Amino acid sequence: MAAEKKGVALKEQPLFLRGMYLFNRVIHSFLGISLVVIALLTLWLFMREICVTLIYKQKLVEGLLHALGTLLILWTVSELITTEIRYLAGHRLQVAVFVDVAIAATVRKILIADIEQMSLELRIFHLAALVGLGVIRWLLTCAVVEPEGRARQPGEKPPA
């Protein structure tokens, strides 16, 4: 029903705005298809890393950590696909998803820090970034915006 309301409002818009709306839909469709391709390639990379680790058994811990990092990338791509589906269905884009993606990327960096022989300063920087992202994510979950536009206070119950 929301799509019908948007369609009626869109027909009343000038030709330029309708063209921009269509172009935006095409771009987001392209992004969705690209995310599916990336997910398939990441899945292939994960399976390859597991097979190589199990067959050669030389650096088992390093191989499994790399595979775990690839799995985190796959989870991130899955979250982005879900967000793109919701956006194409007419829902608002949620900032928290992008913070979650940054958290997953930072956790991956921390996991493979030993393998990449990262300096202590860089490890501390990544840990500080993770703490900062965690605080931002917590703040986003505390200040949920209600449909009326008013921010709900932490601990406040949603209206019935």
**60-112 pLDDT per residue, tens:** 888 888 888 899 899 999 999 998 898 888 888 888 888 999 998 899 888 88
Task: Give the Cα separation of 99 and 41 in Å (integer).
Answer: 23
pTM attached to this predicted model: 0.70
**135-154 pLDDT per residue, tens:** 999 998 887 655 555 555 55
Burial of 91 (0-12, 13-18, 19+ CB in 10 A): exposed
According to DSSP, residue 146 is labeled P
CA distances from 24 to 37, 46, 87 (A): 20, 32, 11
